[in-house]
Amino acid sequence: MHKYLIVLIAFLMVGPMQGIAQIKNARKETVHIYGNCGMCESTIEKSALKNGVAQADWDRTTKMAVITYDSTKTNIKVVMKRIADAGYDNDYYKAPDDVYAKLHSCCQYDRKPE
């Protein structure tokens, strides 16, 4: 029984780190991405995700995300464009108005005037 518990604990500790370890030539940047809730978090992180190439970890309290990407295969602007195209304004791009308008009402954050 103890063997199974040890294996389970090891898996839980190593599991979350595997996503970062899979990205070669990893570069991390912290950026501001507008959003409000858990649905926003899910959409932002899924939009950034490209297995082995890019991922995001967005914090809804601070509205900041750590973007990790393979600097030989992509760059921060490509990842941020995917996030904007999903409806979320960020440090690099404004989301298209029609995409923003289709976000769930709880996801429609206050947009900065241009």
Domain extent listing, the chain? 23-107
pLDDT of amino acid 95? 98
pTM: 0.80
CATH architecture of the domain with residue range 23-107? 2-Layer Sandwich (3.30)
Distance CA 15, CA 90 (A): 29
Residues belonging to the chain: 114
- pLDDT score recorded for residue 92: 97
- Residue 111's pLDDT is 94
Strands (E), the chain: 26-32, 54-59, 64-70
- Chunked mean pLDDT (size 10), the chain, 114 residues: 49 45 89 97 96 95 97 97 98 97 96 81
Residue 2 has a pLDDT of 53
